[in-house]
Amino acid sequence: MRYVDEYRDPELAHGLTAEIRSLVAPGETVRVMEVCGGHTHAIYRHGLEELLPPEVELVHGPGCPVCVIPMGRVDDAIALAETGGLTLATFGDMLRVPGGRGSLLEAKARGADVRMVYSPLDALTLAGKEPGRHVAFLAIGFETTAPATAVTLLRARAEAVPNFSVFCNHVLIEPPLRAILETPGLRVDAFIGPGHVSSVIGTDAYRFICEEYRRPVVVSAFEPVDLLQSIAMILRQRAEGRCEVENQYTRVVRQEGNERALAAIAKTMEPREDFEWRGLGALPRSGLRIRDAFAAFDAERLFALPDARIEDPKACRCGDVLTGQLRPWECGVFGTACTPERPLGTCMVSSEGACAAFFSYGRLRRPREEASVGA
């Protein structure tokens, strides 16, 4: 497959793993957090951890957009879906996310009209096709998916679509990174920066990580060779005493980001005072809401939602996993009360979630990793 095979070339990969080995001292531990759920998925899918020396430990960060949605927002979405005459459209990953009152999939089974779409524009098209119903799009995701929601809002207003709204749950990448960096006893030495988010916000957005927290960042693409190269770049920075933001994903990401996408977001959305994160609690200016000018398309203003705050289940330690304090299998309910089939925490829902990825692809390696931790 062109444009894919090149980035999965075993010889290139072996060259990079040899370089990675040469850049670490035996017995030391370098903890690298990949922020993005897409990276987590790729690491497990290709078995990358087995190619790395035991000195390099990958920590799976908060960048799975499904994993950070708090239970209260899921319940709001369910209440919205159960509104008479309303169709709730959303991405497939959201359907199984557990809230306080079950998941959207269960609401669908009870009779709510929940449909899976692949983009917010598909939801807008659906509204056009079914003028007798109101179509609300449950929007989630970081700056990656926010531009598509923004463009949809702009089009809905331009076409004066009367039966369409957005339940906005977009979040920003910087606040959770700051929250992680402020964690007492931080266990992360460097970051693999997210690829898709960075294509929108650019690499400059991460300079605070180097300047304020002295941790190197390499923005990476998603193929195995990309990820190995990014890890090698991080280790080279360390070896050369540098601490900067580097861009491995030069085929897509620019330093300044995508100005048109950023403008579309700024035109339609603005930061909320604070937004609740699964496992991380309320973080100031971390979520986006729809601007007044687009109030006619804001589901939160059009419908009375319960706006419930539901505490995460006590036994679930998604927050510690998201901040890299705990590895998935160290959580007391991992693989027992919490499995991909019956997830307790959101990290177990999406295949990009740290726990689900580890459970589905990597749980066999646990003994080896535990042994290496003790060393």
Strand 245-247 relative to strand 288-290: parallel, antiparallel, unpaired? unpaired
- Token pair in block for residue 338: 């919490």
Helix (H) or strand (E) holding 130: none
Q: How far is the CB of 141 from other proteins (least distance, A)?
A: 6
Nearer to other proteins, 13 or 290 (CB): 13
d(CA 313, CA 305): 22
Q: Are 24 and 235 in contact (CB under 8 A)?
A: yes
Indicate the angle between helix axes 37-45 and 224-239, nearest 10 degrees. 110
When asked if residue 8 is in the footprint of other proteins (CB under 8 A), the reply is yes
Helix (H, G, I), strand (E, B) or coil at 54: coil
- Token pair in block for residue 318: 């998604």
Which residue, 289, 263, 266, 297, is CA-closest to 159? 297
In the chain, the amino acid numbered 79 is A
Per CB under 8 A, the segment of 35-43, 177-185, 299-307, 313-321 that binds other proteins is 35-43
Nearer to other proteins, 2 or 314 (CB): 2
When asked if residue 350 is in the footprint of other proteins (CB under 8 A), the reply is yes
Restricted to residues 172-201, the positions that interact with other proteins (CB under 8 A) are: 196
Q: How far is the CB of 374 from other proteins (least distance, A)?
A: 22
* CB half-sphere exposure, 219, CA atoms < 13 A: 27
Per CB under 8 A, the segment of 41-49, 77-85, 161-169, 248-256 that binds other proteins is 41-49
Find tokens 């330093």 and name the residue: 255
- The single residue among 118, 158, 292, 374 that binds other proteins, judged by CB under 8 A, is 118
DSSP letters, 278-304, are TTTEEEET-BEEE-GGGGGGBHHHHS-
Cβ within 8 Å of residue 344, ≥6 positions away: 98, 313, 315, 316, 333, 337, 338
Nearer to other proteins, 133 or 301 (CB): 133
DSSP tag of 360: I
User: Chain-centre distance of CA 171, in angstroms?
Assistant: 9
When asked if residue 10 is in the footprint of other proteins (CB under 8 A), the reply is yes
- The single residue among 39, 60, 73, 96 that binds other proteins, judged by CB under 8 A, is 96
Nearer to other proteins, 200 or 235 (CB): 200
DSSP letters, 44-88, are HHTTGGGGS-TTEEEEEEEE-TTTT--HHHHHHHHHHHTSTTEEE
- The single residue among 242, 363, 368, 371 that binds other proteins, judged by CB under 8 A, is 363
When asked if residue 375 is in the footprint of other proteins (CB under 8 A), the reply is no
Cβ within 8 Å of residue 142, ≥6 positions away: 63, 65, 170, 171, 172, 173, 194, 197
When asked if residue 170 is in the footprint of other proteins (CB under 8 A), the reply is no
Nearer to other proteins, 97 or 180 (CB): 97
Q: How far is the CB of 46 from other proteins (least distance, A)?
A: 5
- The single residue among 224, 257, 279, 328 that binds other proteins, judged by CB under 8 A, is 224
Q: Site mask, other proteins, residues 240-279, x = CB under 8 A?
A: ----------------------------------------
Residue 118 pairs with which residues in a beta bridge?
none
Cβ within 8 Å of residue 306, ≥6 positions away: 72, 75, 76, 79
When asked if residue 340 is in the footprint of other proteins (CB under 8 A), the reply is yes
- The single residue among 292, 364, 374, 375 that binds other proteins, judged by CB under 8 A, is 364
Strand 217-219 relative to strand 164-170: parallel, antiparallel, unpaired? unpaired
Nearer to other proteins, 364 or 375 (CB): 364
Q: How far is the CB of 369 from other proteins (least distance, A)?
A: 14
Q: Site mask, other proteins, residues 127-146, x = CB under 8 A?
A: --------------x--xx-
Nearer to other proteins, 46 or 317 (CB): 46
Per CB under 8 A, the segment of 21-29, 45-53, 270-278, 302-310 that binds other proteins is 45-53
Contact residues for other proteins (CB under 8 A)?
1, 4, 8, 10, 13-14, 37-38, 41, 44-51, 65-66, 91-93, 95-96, 105, 116, 118, 122, 141, 144-145, 196, 224, 340-341, 350-352, 359-364
